[in-house]
Structures are given as C-alpha cells and as structure tokens.
Chains A and B, each alone.
Chain A
Amino acid sequence: MDEFQEILQDFLVESFELIEQLDQDLVELETRPDDLELLNRIFRVAHTVKGASSFLNFDVLTHLTHHMEDVLNKARHGELVILPAIMDVILESIDLMKALLTTIRDTSADDGIDVSGCVSRLDKCSKGYGEDEVLKSTPAPKEEIKVEEPKEEEIVNVDNSNEPDYDNMDADELEAEIERLLQQRQAEDKEKREQRASNDSAKASNENDAEDEYVPAMKSPVVVTPARKPASFGDDSDSSDEARAASPAKKQSNVEQTIRVDVKRLDHLMNLIGELVLAKNRLIKINDDVEERYEGESFLEELNQVVSIVSIVTTDLQIAVMKTRMLPIGKVFNKFPRMIRDLSRELNKKIELEIFGEETELDKSIVEEIGDPLVHIIRNSCDHGIEIPKIRAEQGKSETGTIKLKAYNEGNQIVIQIDDDGKGLDVDMLKRKSLEKGLITEKEADNMSDKEAFALIFKPGFSTAAVVTNVSGRGVGMDVVKTNIEKVNGIIDIDSEIGIGTSMKLKIPLTLAIIQALLVGVQEEHYAIPLASVLETVRISKDEVYTVEGRSVMRLREDVLSLVHIGDIFEVERVLDSSEYAYVVVLGLGASKLGLIVDTLVGQEEIVIKSLGEFLKGIDGIAGATIRGDGGVTLIVDVVAIMDMAKHVKASAIVDSTSDAAMLTYEKTKASDYTVMIVDDSKTDRTIMRKALEPLGVTLVEAGDGQEALGILKQGDYNFDAMLVDIEMPRMDGYSLATEIKKYNRYKNLPLIAVTSRTGKSDRMRGVESGMVEYITKPYSADYLMSVVQRNINFRSEFLK
C-alpha cells in the first residue's frame, strides 16, 4: 500500500469517528445552545478535518470545513447565537462533509459535490445576515446533495478556480454564480449519471480482479516511484474510472473489517495472557508432581489430557493475541522509496531501492523501534556503500546502485536484510580507523576476525567517512542502530566483500512479551537465558578449561571460546560443592561468542518477561524477571550486557576452592557449645536420643524429617557438630538428606550418624555411599549412642561434669 493511501485510510477512519460523535453533540447543542464545552468540541472536529484535508489536498472539503469553522468559532466566542435556522445550516454542512468523505473513501478524491451553496449560507450565518434569508434557501441544497453525488471532474476544475473569490464575493453575486454553476452542472450530470450506471456494473465485475491484482502487487519489488497523487483532475476519464472501480473493492473492505482498538486494551489483554501462561506453567509443574506421586492411578490420564488441552489452548490464545498486535513491516518500509530518491539527488548517485516481503508482520512495539535503525543503515548504504556513477562504471558495474530491503520469517525471528552492491567494507581500513580513534588496541586489531572487524562500525565515535556530510559520517548513527536493535533483543549480522557489496541482517524476535528461554542453575539460584541468543550447550569436565592470561577459555571444535562463570558475574555465593562437570552455554550475539559456565541446565520454558520496576531498573546483566511455575521469581539474563561484563570479570569460580570447604570450627569453651541435630520422624525415637545425650550437656536440635533438617541447616542459625539421622522418614529419607547435605561445601565434613532399624548389608552400603560415617542399629544402649557421638564431635572430656 502506498504511503498516501495509508495516510488517507487513517484520515478516513478518524474523520468518520469524529463525525459520529459530532452528530450526537449537535443534537445536544440544540437543547443546550450555551454549552461552551460542547461548542468547543464541535469546533475542534471541524478544525481537525479541515487541517487533515488541506494536508491531503482535498480542496473542496477544506473549503467547506473552513467556513464551518468560521461559524462555529463565532458561536463559541458568543458572537453568534445558535438559532434553529443556523443549526440547520450547520447540520447541512455536516451532511455535506459526510457525503464528501464518502466520496473520498470511494474515489480518493473529493470532487463531485458542490458545496458553494452551503458555504455561502455558512458565510451569511457568520456575518450575521438575517435568518430569514438563510431559512429561505435551506431546502434547495438538501436536494443538491442527492443529485450531486456522482462525481464530475470538470466542475471541480471550475470550482477550484473560483474558490478564492468566494471570500470576496458579495452574497448576491455568490448566489448568482451558484445558480449559474448549478445549471451547468445539472445538464452535465445527466450525461454522467448514465455513464456511471454502466460503470457500476463494470465495477462489480472488476471487484474480484482487483483483489487478485492487489496481492501480487505487494510481493513484487517496488521500484522507486513518486507517491501516488490523489486521483488526478485530468479529463483522462477512462483511467480514473478504472482506478475508481478498483479502489472501492479494496478500501471498503479495509475500513469496514477493522476495529480500532486502544493499544492499552491490547496491552492489558497481553498482560492477562501472560498471567495465563504463568498459570499454565504452574499447572504443568503440579501435574508432573502429581504424576510422580500417584503413578499408575487411572485419574492421571484424565488430568493429563486436561492439562495438555489447557496448555495447547493457552499457546494458541497467546499466538492469536500476539497477532492482533502485529503490523506489516511495510509501515516502516514505505518511507524509504522517498528517502532514497531524495538521498540520491543529494549525493549525485543513482540508487534504486527494491523492497521484498513488506507484508511480513511484526509486533507493534518492535515496528516502532526499528524505524530509526533502518533509516541509519540505509543512509549509510547510500552514503558509504554505493559509489558515484563514474566509479561504478569504471569498475564495470551498472551505474545505478541497488539497495535491497527484504523482510522474512525465520523460525521465531524476523529477519530484515539490507543488501547493497556498493564498495563493501574494507577490513584493514576499519581496523586502521579504529586504531586511530583509539577504539581498539593494536593487539585487539591483530586478533580480530573479519566479522568482528565489521562490527567495529557500530562502535560509538566510529566513522569511515572522510568528511562529515549532511547524510552521515558523524559516527553516531550506527551506534544507535546497535542500541535500538539490542533493545528489542535483536542481533545484527554483517557480511561484506570489497567491491561486491555489504549485507546486513537484523534478526529480531517476533514479540517482546513472551519468549522461549533456557533455564540454568548456579548453586541454588536459577537464571533464564533468552533462547534466541543460545547457540548450543556443551557439557565439559573441569580439566577442559584452560586459563590464558587470567581468563578461562576452552576449545570448542576448531575455535577457542572464552568462558565466564555465571556465578562470577552475578556474585553468587558458593555454598554448594561444585561437581566435576559443568555446562557451558554458548551465547552468540552477532559475530561475538561467549561461553557461560553454569552448574546445571534446568530446561527450556516459555517465560513472560516482567519488568523489575523503576526501583531496580538498569541493573547490569539483568534484562527483567519472570514468574515461574512454582510462584518464584527468576531473573532473565541480559545477554548483551553479560558479553560486556565478561571482559572485566576475573575467573575465580572455576578454580576449585577446597580450602574454604572445611567447616568453620569455633573454639569450644563449654559442653553446650557443641550442637547436635536429631532427625527422626518418630517423636518417641527423638526423645530416646535426647535422653541419651542430655547427660553430655550438648545443645540438641530436633527435626521431624529430611526437609525440615535441611531447612534448619540452610538457615545457618546453628553450627552443627554432628547429626543423628533416621533412614525411614517421610518427605525426604535419610539417604537423600545425606546426599543433599554433602553438596554444601560448608557441611562437607559434618559427621552424619545413621540411627536405624534397617540392618541389611545393602542398607549399610547405601549409608556409606551417601556419606554416613557411623551406622547405629536400633535398639541401642544410651551409653553406646553417647560414646559414638562423643567420638564424632571430638568432645573434650573435661566438659563432663
């Protein structure tokens, strides 16, 4: 759709809405003629329509609304009382305005309706002529509206030429003039009406064809042409008839089949869907838990079905709502043909723009965000990319340079590709310039791959242009491109060959609100990484990590990948013992790559991005937060920032720090400084143990099961010297508890003593495997228990009373 049509559509939709409101207001005005607020509102409508129509070159409409405005202006300043007769004229003018707008909708032009009679009456009103005169002439024009609906080009020509005179004309002169015009018109109208009747049938048959023609027209490359003017005033009636026949079919369907909805409502809807997605995630988690617990039960199948239906419907609903927010990227592309035309004039170059895939749809917020970057990229291509015709000819290229603008879907992303066949990027020159400007160091320049060198053009302060022109060369533009694209989680990929051209790909996610993410674990925390930036994940063992100049790197196939531990970036406290293996999430952002070391991979999940709010915004490395299935909050990693932060982070987490693994031991000065935890689900058993140990005078803490025990340990209120653990417990048994405890650096050496009635050899073995140091079988004597505990906590006998 071309630019003019687009503006016209908006204008029409807006005007019809305004007029609808206007009708109500006018009726009200009649009962309350003194209501200033109401008058103001009506005045503003006339004013708005006038402004827009003059901009769109609808002279007749402008003329009419201008005079309406005059009358209304007087009325609202109290210089004119709205008498019923005057109201009639105003209403008439509004009817005319409607008729004009309808004509515009059907033909893209406002010719064919005579407004002069009404205008003159409006003038009379505003000049305060007697109402009798006004009254007298009212009925006639009402007829006119009906009669004059058929368009008439010639008349409009006359109209236009006469227009400026109206203001100066005397009322009587005017009437005479109108009379003359009317007669002339009516004679011609007859002819035209007949002609029109035949057109109508033609239009009907053309309707289908028009629709068909319309679609391919959009897909085919659009060559720069000046924006289409409103149907010309020329007498070339054949072609304008054709246009008329084609346009109603297209436009009427556009106007009538859309509803304008406040973006706020859509945003609200999107938020609600977000909540629904969260609830769905939660439901899935609960379903998994239930499945585990009641394995094999018949109701599970039913539950599974319901959960999967809810999950599917939610996903579909989300897509459907997302689509309502989608706009064709053509909205942005449309301004470029004109821009290229102007630029090629200014730069004395011959440039042709080809646009593909302008029907590709993107989220509204993204469409708004990418306009500026594209302008910069295209200006850049025109200025630096395409050579002047003479040079192009010397190099054997066609004198006219071509810039191709393509948009297409690729998986969950939209790719916008800007190709030019200009001189391409010169890697050596880029490096030299960056060195001169101190943007990079010599060493960096030497180690740089071509891709990395291309990315230099995005550095702030970088410009390859020898002189600053009007168009570019200030070294700001491309930096803006990068920031804006990254803001919408997009990435930029550049490819270039000297003498052949440059190709830039912007990869942008379809929507901002809900994304696919990889959830990773580090120690006890979880983070979400946008899946779009994850290239792959690799499991590595500790000895695959090398340290080069204080930085960790690993070998990934042919390449050397620099590594950074997520715990170092986010200052994660290391409480858990790191296992032998770690996972590396390979992040890719345009040309650069980074390996992010994490402890565990949790899985892929659809997450809803929530802002951290005003208070916490702009935290380095954090793009937002999401709410998980269990109701907890998980932070979303800002990949762009992490890439940057990784450069300044010292590797520490990867180095095994067994030294601080030892438990903090405090000087014991009395018996009660020793603390022992008793974990048993039976109250009786706990009491027996307590009684047995009380004579020692040590502090005793009780827990009813494994989970509770773990909770107490995590809180860190006590420094435990030993734990007595029952094996058979609900929620978490003794073995699992022991395994969990051993994960913590701090409790690595905490003596765990199993106290159980299980006597089998295999039970004992499992106990040892899970890290129990002693194995006491029930029943036991109090003395035996006491001595075992005493031995394990290095109890000093002098404390015994």
Chain B
Amino acid sequence: MSDKLQQIIKKQNLRDNNQENVNDVVQLVGFVIGDEEYAVPILSIQEIIKPFPWTRVPQVPKYVVGVFNMRGAVIPLIDLRLKFGLNQKKHNEETRFIVMRDGDDVAGFVIDRLTMAIRIKKSNIGPAPDTASGDDTSIDGVGKQEDRIITILKVKKLLQRDF
C-alpha cells in the first residue's frame, strides 16, 4: 500500500518536474544586426516580412525611417542598425522587417538578417550587464548557448517612443 502511494507520489513529482521544464524554456527568434546576434520572444512577433516601400516621416530621429502599410494599418518602421548606433546599410536579399507587438503598440523593425528560432533554458539566461541595466536599457538579458551569446531585447522598450 505504502509502496503504491510512494510510486504515485513519485510519478506526480516527475510530472511536476516535466511541467517545470516546459515553463523553463524560452522560445526566441534570433536575428543579426551588424555583427551581433539579438533575439526577441517569439510571441511578441506578429510577422516577419520582406522589405517593401515605406513613406518617410519628417521631424523624427533618423532611426525612424518612416511608416508603411500593413494590410490597412499604418505602422512605424524603425531601423535597428541606426537605433543601435551603426551606420546605414542598403537593404539586400536578407534584410527583413520584423513586426513586433506589445499590447496595442506595433512597429516594424529593420534587421540585417534572421538567424533561427531558438529554444533556450531560463537558467541559461543571465541578467543584462551592469553597465546596461536599469530602466533605460533595451536589453532584457543575455542568453548563453553552446558557443555563442545572444542579447535578448525588451520588446516593450523597443516599442516605446523615446524622442
């Protein structure tokens, strides 16, 4: 009797652990800007599209390249290269617009190229470096995977107007 009970309890524990494992993994989409690899949570991405024409908007910082029409909605387009202080680069075959959403805020981001969908354990994600922490940073954390380091970005922060 007690053996059986023990077994059941064991089983339950095992299941709990499994569940924890599922919760422990973060799914991200990785992309490259300049030489660095970045990632954002997969659920914050509305869609990824190839570049198409946009309209310039005056009186805004340079990294806000303009607005574009996504199926009837007018959405701002932000060049992450410029935002991160890199110089401008011509769009090429690998350039993509990533449309991210956080609540009602939506914006398209120009990235150099996509890498892959990443599953990463929460335990492998470290905090943002001290020099770039606090409320001002758009870095959520740093993910470690075998041989590389991925900077995980705060979508909320990226979608926040800062001018």
Q: What is A's interface to B at a CB cutoff of 8 Å? A: 275, 278, 525, 569-572, 610-616, 619-622, 625, 627, 631-635, 715, 717
Within 8 A of A (CB), among B66-90: 66-69, 72-76, 90
For residue B161, CB closer than 8 A to chain A, the reply is yes
Are A619 and B59 in contact, with the CB atoms below 8 A? yes
Stretch at the interface among B100-108, B110-118, B124-132: B100-108
Q: A615-B159, A616-B76, A625-B74 are in contact. List 10 more A-B contacts (CB 8 A).
A: A612-B74, A614-B105, A615-B161, A616-B57, A621-B58, A622-B58, A625-B55, A627-B74, A633-B74, A635-B57
B107 is contacted by which of A569, A615, A619, A621 (Cβ under 8 Å)?
A615
Are B55 and A613 in contact, with the CB atoms below 8 A? no
Q: Quick one: given A614-B104, A615-B105, are A631 and B69 in contact (CB under 8 Å)?
A: yes
B69 is contacted by which of A571, A627, A635 (Cβ under 8 Å)?
A627
Q: Quick one: given A571-B59, A619-B58, A625-B67, are A610 and B161 in contact (CB under 8 Å)?
A: no
Cα(A634)–Cα(B69), bound, Å? 10
Are A633 and B68 in contact, with the CB atoms below 8 A? yes
Q: Quick one: given A615-B161, A621-B58, are A717 and B73 in contact (CB under 8 Å)?
A: no
A619 is contacted by which of B57, B68, B72 (Cβ under 8 Å)?
B57
Within 8 A of A (CB), among B139-163: 159, 161
For residue B5, CB closer than 8 A to chain A, the reply is no
Are A633 and B58 in contact, with the CB atoms below 8 A? no
A716 to chain B minimum Cβ distance, whole angstroms, is 9
Cα(A587)–Cα(B61), bound, Å? 28
For residue B56, CB closer than 8 A to chain A, the reply is yes
What are 29 contact pairs spanning A and B, CB under 8 A? Answer: A278-B72, A525-B55, A569-B58, A612-B67, A612-B74, A612-B76, A613-B75, A613-B76, A613-B105, A614-B104, A614-B105, A615-B76, A615-B105, A616-B60, A619-B57, A621-B59, A622-B59, A625-B55, A627-B72, A631-B69, A632-B69, A633-B54, A633-B66, A633-B68, A633-B74, A634-B55, A635-B55, A635-B57, A635-B67
A189 to chain B minimum Cβ distance, whole angstroms, is 61
Cα(A376)–Cα(B54), bound, Å? 43
Cα(A622)–Cα(B66), bound, Å? 13
Across the interface, which residues of B come within 8 angstroms of A570, CB to CB?
58-59
Across the interface, which residues of B come within 8 angstroms of A634, CB to CB?
55
B79 to chain A minimum Cβ distance, whole angstroms, is 14
Closest to B159 in A: A615
Are A632 and B55 in contact, with the CB atoms below 8 A? yes
Across the interface, which residues of B come within 8 angstroms of A621, CB to CB?
58-59
Are A633 and B55 in contact, with the CB atoms below 8 A? yes
Across the interface, which residues of B come within 8 angstroms of A569, CB to CB?
58
B26 to chain A minimum Cβ distance, whole angstroms, is 26
Closest to A571 in B: B58
A625 to chain B minimum Cβ distance, whole angstroms, is 5
Across the interface, which residues of B come within 8 angstroms of A622, CB to CB?
57-59
Across the interface, which residues of A come within 8 angstroms of B105, CB to CB?
613-615
A369 to chain B minimum Cβ distance, whole angstroms, is 22
Cα(A619)–Cα(B64), bound, Å? 12
Across the interface, which residues of A come within 8 angstroms of B58, CB to CB?
569-572, 619, 621-622
Cα(A621)–Cα(B55), bound, Å? 15
Are A632 and B53 in contact, with the CB atoms below 8 A? yes
Are B57 and A610 in contact, with the CB atoms below 8 A? no
Q: Quick one: given A614-B161, A615-B107, A616-B64, are A275 and B72 in contact (CB under 8 Å)?
A: yes
Cα(A710)–Cα(B105), bound, Å? 36
Across the interface, which residues of A come within 8 angstroms of B68, CB to CB?
633
Across the interface, which residues of B come within 8 angstroms of A614, CB to CB?
104-105, 161
Across the interface, which residues of B come within 8 angstroms of A627, CB to CB?
69, 72, 74
Are B72 and A616 in contact, with the CB atoms below 8 A? no
Cα(A613)–Cα(B74), bound, Å? 8
Cα(A627)–Cα(B90), bound, Å? 25
Closest to A608 in B: B72
Cα(A278)–Cα(B68), bound, Å? 15
Cα(A602)–Cα(B159), bound, Å? 34
Across the interface, which residues of A come within 8 angstroms of B74, CB to CB?
610-613, 625, 627, 633
Cα(A717)–Cα(B56), bound, Å? 20
Which 4 residue pairs spanning A and B have beta carbons closest together?
A570-B58, A633-B55, A625-B74, A610-B74
Closest to A617 in B: B161
Across the interface, which residues of B come within 8 angstroms of A572, CB to CB?
58
**Of A614, A625, A632, A715, most B-chain CB atoms within 10 Å:** A614
Across the interface, which residues of B come within 8 angstroms of A632, CB to CB?
53, 55, 69
Across the interface, which residues of B come within 8 angstroms of A619, CB to CB?
57-60
Across the interface, which residues of A come within 8 angstroms of B54, CB to CB?
633
Across the interface, which residues of A come within 8 angstroms of B106, CB to CB?
613
Cα(A633)–Cα(B54), bound, Å? 7
Closest to A526 in B: B55
Closest to A275 in B: B72
Cα(A611)–Cα(B159), bound, Å? 16
A217 to chain B minimum Cβ distance, whole angstroms, is 46
**Of B56, B60, B76, most A-chain CB atoms within 10 Å:** B56
Across the interface, which residues of A come within 8 angstroms of B107, CB to CB?
613, 615
B108 to chain A minimum Cβ distance, whole angstroms, is 10
Cα(A624)–Cα(B107), bound, Å? 16
Cα(A627)–Cα(B68), bound, Å? 9
Are A633 and B59 in contact, with the CB atoms below 8 A? no
B97 to chain A minimum Cβ distance, whole angstroms, is 14
B50 to chain A minimum Cβ distance, whole angstroms, is 15
A182 to chain B minimum Cβ distance, whole angstroms, is 61
Chain B positions 36 through 70: 1 when the CB is less than 8 Å from some CB of chain A, otherwise 0: 00000000000000000111111110001011110
Cα(A633)–Cα(B73), bound, Å? 10
Across the interface, which residues of A come within 8 angstroms of B69, CB to CB?
627, 631-633
B90 is contacted by which of A278, A613, A717 (Cβ under 8 Å)?
A717
Cα(A715)–Cα(B64), bound, Å? 19
Cα(A25)–Cα(B76), bound, Å? 48
Across the interface, which residues of A come within 8 angstroms of B57, CB to CB?
612, 616, 619, 622, 635
Across the interface, which residues of B come within 8 angstroms of A611, CB to CB?
74
Cα(A619)–Cα(B56), bound, Å? 13
B15 to chain A minimum Cβ distance, whole angstroms, is 34
Cα(A622)–Cα(B161), bound, Å? 17
Cα(A2)–Cα(B74), bound, Å? 43
A715 is contacted by which of B55, B75, B90 (Cβ under 8 Å)?
B90
Across the interface, which residues of A come within 8 angstroms of B59, CB to CB?
570-571, 619-622
**Of B58, B67, B107, most A-chain CB atoms within 10 Å:** B58
Cα(A768)–Cα(B53), bound, Å? 34
Closest to A626 in B: B74
Across the interface, which residues of B come within 8 angstroms of A717, CB to CB?
90
Across the interface, which residues of A come within 8 angstroms of B56, CB to CB?
525
Across the interface, which residues of B come within 8 angstroms of A275, CB to CB?
72
Cα(A244)–Cα(B66), bound, Å? 64
